[in-house]
Structure 1
Amino acid sequence: MTETFLKNAWYCAGWDSDIGIGAKDLVVRKIAGRPILLYRKLDGGIVAMEDRCPHRSAPLSLGRKEQDSIRCMYHGMLFGPDGKCSHVPGMATVPDDARVPSLPVVERDNWVWVWMGDPAKADADLICEAIGPGNPDWILKTNKIQIKTNYRQEIQNLADLSHVSWVHEMTFGGTEDWGYIKPKHNVTPRGIETRYCVRQVPAPAFAKHLFPEDARFDIQVHVRMSVPCNFILSFAVHEAGDATSGPTNGRLLLDTFSSQAVTPRDDDSIDYYFSWGTSKATYIPGIVDLMHTANMEAFLEDKRMLEGQRERMLEFPNAPLVDIVHDAGPGRMLFVLDKLLQEENEAAAAREAAQ
């Protein structure tokens, strides 16, 4: 069977604050079609394992914590953090195959990352570089949202910020200039890197009240996208300079950073974890709260558009689609994803043929 999700990749399972150490803190995330149970051990480390008892497939998330282990509350089987069953009530010997698949898990930048593929290939260096709310040099606020769309549509949305002028007219937009940007997309082994400058634009709609009507700014943008769908954004606001190409030469006013991780739940829905804020060096009292509110409103604008798009795509599955200039970024990002998927599927087919 051809897989639509990469296995050998780190998937975001939420913010570290989502997973507590309490007796009832059993968190379930559906990741790439697979239910994953997450909980903390006594030392604070996180356990990630399949949310399924190997006896009759009861959800382990309906069980209870017992120190570092999890007890299935259907027939009382006890599983350690490595997934191995250590006790079956009524049996002196535990069956050898009484084991739950456990998964590598890493906490970094206040995110929780789960490796869904071969544990031997779980390289923490493949986790995207980001800035978390715990970084002392930044003031960031976090949030999350669920969207009923396929993650490939979200990839296309994030790899093409020309839609800011239209989808986000009342929040991030306020100018049509975003529809005329010509970014350069450099392909990396697991994604793309994009840089560009939007010049001589008014303040975004959510902040226009802070400035005179004739105020103009340069927006310096640096995006790093990586599979499965991570979007790391440096968004720096400068006074409008006189440079017409390359980086702006205007004075830096506000240095902002957004870390965004999109996790496919299945073919039809995603979990979206995101942050936005400013460096302490350019912080203005109240600005991060304003940005956070605008960010949430903008992502609800995305949600409406993406869910509407998904609905029409399912209704018209064979309808032809027209490519335009702004599809360059999405095309490159999906090329990288599909290349890695093809490699995994071919390797899986070869293993199956050899058996």
Structure 2
Amino acid sequence: MFIKNTWYVAAWDHEVTREGMFTRTIIGVPVLMYRKADGEIVALEDRCCHRGAPLSVGRREGDCVRCMYHGLKFDAAGQCIEAPAQKRIPIQAKVKTYPVVQRHRWIWVWMGDPDKADESLIPDTQWLDHPDWRSLDGYIHYDVNYLLICDNLLDFSHLPFVHPTTLGGGADYAATQPKVDRIDDGVRITRWAIGIDAPPFAAAVKEWGGKVDRWNIYNFTLPSILLMDSGMAPTGQGAEQGNRDGAIEFRGCQAITPETENSTHYFFAHPHNFSIDKPDVTRSIHEAVVAAFDEDRDIITAQQRSLSLAPDFKMVAFGIDAALNQFRWAVNKRLAEEAAEDALAKEAASVQGAASARLATRG
């Protein structure tokens, strides 16, 4: 159902503190996060190994957590180190831990095989805390399957229709055809609209005095990360050839993290490199983005309700679906690879178990 051997965004840095505990469900697994006294982040399965009570309703004791059902105490490595009224603690009394990394204000958690958790695979989101860029933190919770959100982000032709007063543009923007390229673990979309009206959010932060050339260039990679170079410049000056004088530029960072099969966490920010000393400009951009993303949530939630009533519904493909079809192909390919690896591991374990049983019988 979900890719496991990958990094998922689990939280913004300010959500996980030294004093308290923070829990969030990632791909169907409740994950408890907190910071040790030295600031290091801990990520444990939010489920006591004894009777399955959530550790997040327990209490912090230094760098440890105590389950408040039967009093078991766990260290930051997930090992039970204290059990009231019981001197001997079973060696298997531990909760699962997850590799966790904080980078550029996002906290990333690896939900699969910890031996495969390569930090170099974490996407570069340097604009979230770069001194030359400004943005505000964004988070939206969706009651929909994460792939429907991915579909939406992989086809910007919906902008003039879903977002006519926010991020959208005119019909001329919808008519522009993007270039779609397959890249490692995803797709790259390049979309230029030459000589169009500035969309409302851009008109609110700059007087253009005429038409603009607008671009959206972004990578959308597994598990579901969008990193975008976007902006607009006065038309006719050669922005498409690299001249961005007088332009406004953004570096959108968006992460779609599945919560369950039908619910999703959506983390986002829209860093800009102009008027960074004017908080009202940053706030105006953020508010326009939030308003637009609420519009997306409305239509995608309605779509989810419609699809839930017709499980056998077959979508009719159009040319504008090229990017989302390629991304879903990448998702399915990775899921198939992980399923094959799991099957081989189970087969190997079964063979080893049978061999051990034969040796025991002979003995």
TM range (shorter): over 0.9
Contact map agreement 1:79 1:99 (CA 8 A) in 2:
yes
1:313 to 300, 307, 313: 307
- Which of 297, 301, 320 aligns to 2:295? It is 301
- Give the match for residue 316 of structure 2: 322
Identify the residue that residue 161 of structure 2 maps to in structure 1.
166
In structure 2, what is the equivalent of residue 98 of structure 1?
93
Cα distance change on mapping 1:322 and 1:228 into 2, 3 Å: same
Q: 1:57 maps to what in 2?
A: 52
* Correspondence for 2:22 among 23, 27, 32: 27
1:251 alignment counterpart: 245
Aligned to 1:335: 329
Q: For residues 1-355 of structure 1, what are the structure 2 equivalents within 5 Å?
A: 4-22=1-19, 25-208=20-203, 215-241=210-236, 247=241, 249=243, 251-280=245-274, 283=276, 285=278, 286-354=280-348, 355=350
Structure 1 CA distance, aligned partners of 2:164 and 2:241?
25
Q: Secondary structure at the match of 2:270?
A: strand
The CA deviation at 1:132 is: 4.5
Q: Which runs of 5+ in 2 are unaligned?
A: 351-363
- Partner of 2:144: helix, strand, or coil? coil
Distance in 2 of aligned mates of 1:265 and 1:283: 34
Q: What is the CA distance between 1:128 and its match in structure 2? A: 1.2
- Any idea what the Cα deviations from partners look like across 1:127-170, whole Å, max 9, x if unmatched? 11113532211111111010111111111111111111111112
Contact 2:132–2:276 under 8 Å retained in 1: no
Using the size of structure 1 for normalisation, the TM-score is 0.93
Q: Which amino acid aligns with 1:267?
A: E
In structure 2, give the amino acid aligned to 1:335. Answer: W
- Whole-angstrom distance in 1 between the partners of 2:97 and 2:80: 12
- Contact 1:142 1:274 (C-alpha < 8 Å) held by counterparts: yes
> Which residue identity does 1:28 align to in structure 2?
T
**CA-CA distance at 1:283 after TM superposition:** 4.0
Q: Which moved more, 1:123-132 or 1:48-57?
A: 123-132
C-alpha distance in structure 2 between counterparts of 1:159 and 1:284, whole Å: 32
Q: Give the letter for the 2:311 counterpart.
A: P
TM-score by length of 2: 0.91
% same residue: 34
* CA 292–212 in structure 1, closer or farther in 2 if over 3 Å, else same: closer
Across the two proteins, how many residue pairs are aligned to each other?
348
Q: Is the Cα contact below 8 Å between 1:241 and 1:249 reproduced in 2?
A: no
One-letter code aligned to 1:161:
F
**What secondary structure, in the 3-state scheme, does the structure 2 residue paired with 1:271 have?**
strand
- Displacement of 1:319: 2.0
Whether contact under 8 Å (2:46, 2:55) holds in the other structure is: yes
* DSSP 3-state at the match of 1:301: helix
Tell me, in whole angstroms, the C-alpha distance in 2 between the residues paired with 1:100 and 1:165: 49
Aligned CA-pair RMSD: 1.8
3-state SS of paired residue (1:307): helix
Return the offset for 1:186. 2.0
| Aligned residues of 2:173 and 2:196 also touching (Cα < 8 A) | no
Once residues 22 and 128 of structure 2 are traced to their aligned partners in structure 1, the CA distance between those partners, rounded to angstroms, is: 21
Q: Deviations over 1:189-233 (max 9, x none)?
A: 221222232211111123445667962111122201111111111
Distance 1:115 1:132 in 2: 22
Gap runs ≥5 in structure 1: none
- SS across alignment from 1:13: strand
CA contact (8 A) 2:127 2:251 kept: no
Deviation at 1:284, TM superposition (A): 7.2
Distance in structure 2 (CA, Å) of the matches to 1:212 and 1:254:
11
The verdict on how the C-alpha distance between 1:230 and 1:37 changes in structure 2, with shifts beyond 3 A counting, is same
Q: Please say if residues 53 and 100 of structure 1, whose CA atoms lie closer than 8 Å, have aligned partners that are also in contact.
A: yes
On the 8 A contact 2:227/2:254 being kept in 1, the answer is yes
CA distance in 2, matches of 1:133, 1:38: 21
CA distance in 2, matches of 1:59, 1:83: 14
